[in-house]
Structure 1
Amino acid sequence: MQSFGFGDVLDISVINIRCFGSRLLRAGAWLLMLWGATDVKAINSVARFCTFTNGTGRPWSQVTPLTSTTPRGSVLWERGVALNVNYAYAGPSGAAHELVSTGHWGPGTTLSEGIAPTNIDGIGLKINVRSSDGQNRTLLQPPLPVAVEKESVQYDSAAAQARGSTLTTNYVQQLILTVAPSQLPAGKLIVERVAGSSQLTLYAINLLKGQVGFGSSVDIPIDNRPSGVCRVPYLLMGPAIINMGDGGGPIEIPNTCNVQTYKTIPVQLGRLSLNDFPQMGATSMPVHFAIELSQCAANAKPVITFNDRYGPSVNPTVLTLEPT
C-alpha cells in the first residue's frame, strides 16, 4: 500500500478513477450473475388442437414441353406446396414429444409408383415431400401412412404456455406423362382433378420423441390424452388435390412444337429505291421464306409471332429495318 508523508501531493483524480473502476467491476459481476439466472430453458410439451392451413402454394411451372417425342414418364409441370399444421402447447410434460406429419394414398383405385390418374387419360399426378432430413419421399399407397416431416414439441421458459407453433411440410406436385404423346386425347389438355376413388390422406400426430423415424410407417394412436392431443386427419379428393395449398386450380398443358430459334434465316428482299414506293403504305414484291417446326404434338396448333428488334412499330404487322 502506498503511504503519503507531510507535503506530499495527493493525486485525487487517480484515486477517484480507481474507485470508480472498482465499482464498475462489481456492477459487471452482478450483471453476469443476473444473466446466468435467466437462461432460457426448453420445456417439453404435447401438441394439441392441431389444424391444417393451406399455407403457400406456388403456381405451376413447365418442366418438359409436350411434343411428339416427349418420353413417357416425363415430368411435364410441377409446383411446390407448403402445408402448415398449427398447434397449441398442452403445458409441461415429463417426456419429450414430436409432432409428426404423415401421408399416403388411401385405398381405392390402384396407383402405380404413387401416380394417380387425372381427368386427362395419359397424364397422372405424383406427390413428393422434401423432408427436413434432406430426403425426397414419394407418397405411395401402403396400408399405413408414412412419416415425412416432424419437429420437437417444446417451448422456452420465457414464453406463455398457451402459445403454440407451426409445423410446415413441403410438398411437390408433378404432372407426369404416362403414355406416348400420340395416345393422348384430342383437344385441349386441361387437368382439373384427380380421377378414381383413391384419396390423399395426411395426418398430424403427436408421438413420443423417437417413436418413429423419417420414412417409417405410423400406426395412428387411438388414445385422446391429454384432451385435444393431435390425431388430426386431412383428406383430399378430386379437384382439392390439384388445388392443395391454393394457387393451383386447372392447368392447361399446351401441345407444342420444337423450333430452331437459334438459327438465322436470311431473307433476301432485293435492292429497292425510293421510286419503288410511290405512296404511303406501298410495299415491295413479297419474298417467301420458311420456318421449320419439328416434333409437333398431335394436337399442336402453333402460332408464330415476331418481336421487332429495332423498336416497336406503329403498325404491328410491319417490322423496322436496321437503322443505318
Structure 2
Amino acid sequence: MKLPKRSSLTMRDVGLHAGVSPITVSRVLANHGSVTTETREAVLRAVSELGYVPDYTARALSRRGSKLVALMLPNIANSVFAETVHGINDVLNSAGFSLIIAHSGYDAQREEELLRGLLGYRPDAVILTGFSHTRATRTMLRKAGMPVVETWNVGPEPMDVAVGFSNFKAGLEMTRYLIAKGHTRLAYRGGIQTDNERTRAREEGFRQALAEANLPATEEWIGSAPMELESGAELAREFQAMPPGKKRPQAIFIASDMIAAGFVLEAAQLGIRVPQDVAIAGFDDTPLGRAIRPQLTTVNVRQREIGRKAGELALRRLRGETIEHPVHDVGFEIVPRESA
C-alpha cells in the first residue's frame, strides 16, 4: 500500500479558507494577543478542517524560531522525571512551544550524540538533566548561542541557568534523620553513578553525616544499583543472608524510591519486618512509595516545581532577559512515614 502524497498546504491556504490574511493565520498560530476571539476560532477551525500542520523547520530557517525546546532526560521510564516533564510542558505549551524529548540512559557520551541530532531541528532552547556533560556538549551549546537550563542539581557554574536542589544536602539531612532515630549501623544504596553526579552527591552527604556523628562508613554496606524494583528485591535478599546482630545494618538509606519499594515488597515475602528489623528510607517521594505498606520515609524533591521553573527560565532567556541569580534552588523536604 502506497503512502498518501504529502500535503503542501500553506498559511495562505488556511487564510483563504478562513477569510483572513496569512499574517493573521501566523498570529493565531503564534498565540499572538492582537487577534479577536472570533477570528482566532475561524482560523483554528480552518486548520482543523484542512489538516494543516505548521512548517516549524521553515520558520526556524527564517530566524523566527522553531517554537521547539529540546529536553534531555536520563530515564524516561522513571516517574520522577515524568513529573518534571509535566511541569515544563505546563509552562511551555501555554506559550506556544513544544518539546522534543530524548533519553540518554545516564550516559554523557550518548547525551552528546543525541544532542547533536536534536540541534539539527533548530530548537529555541535546551533543557538538560544534571551537570555532567562532555566537553563537546558544552562546546556545541556554547556555539549554538541558545538558552540552556540545567535541572535537578545546583552548582556554582551552570552553562547558562540552572534549577534544582542540593543532592549533597538532601543525602546529608536524610542520614541525620536516621541517626536521630537512634540508628548507628547504616547502609547506603544509590543509583548507578556513571555520568550521574546527583547520586554521587547523595552518597557524599551520607558519608558526611556519618563522620559528623563519629559513626563508621562500612564499605561493604555502601553500593549502587540500577534504579529498578528488582535492585531493591536483590538488596532485601542480601540483607536476609547477613548474620543477625551487629553484622547487619539497622537502617538503609536508598537514594531512589524505586529501589526502596523493591526492598519493602520483597521483604514482606521474606519475612523481614520494616522498620522493626531494618528501617528503610527512600528518595523522590513517588506515588509508589506512598502506595506500599509500610509507606516509605523519603525525600520530596519537588519534581514538578523544577519543571515549571525550568520552563519559566527558558522563556525568560528567550525574551532576552539577564537572570541576576542564574542558579535557582527549590529545596527539598524530609518526609517521615512508616518505613523509618
* Global fold match (TM > 0.5): no
From the CA coordinates, give the structure whose radius of gyration is larger: 1
- Higher helix share goes to which structure? 2
Give the TM-score, by structure 1 length: 0.26
- Higher strand share goes to which structure? 1
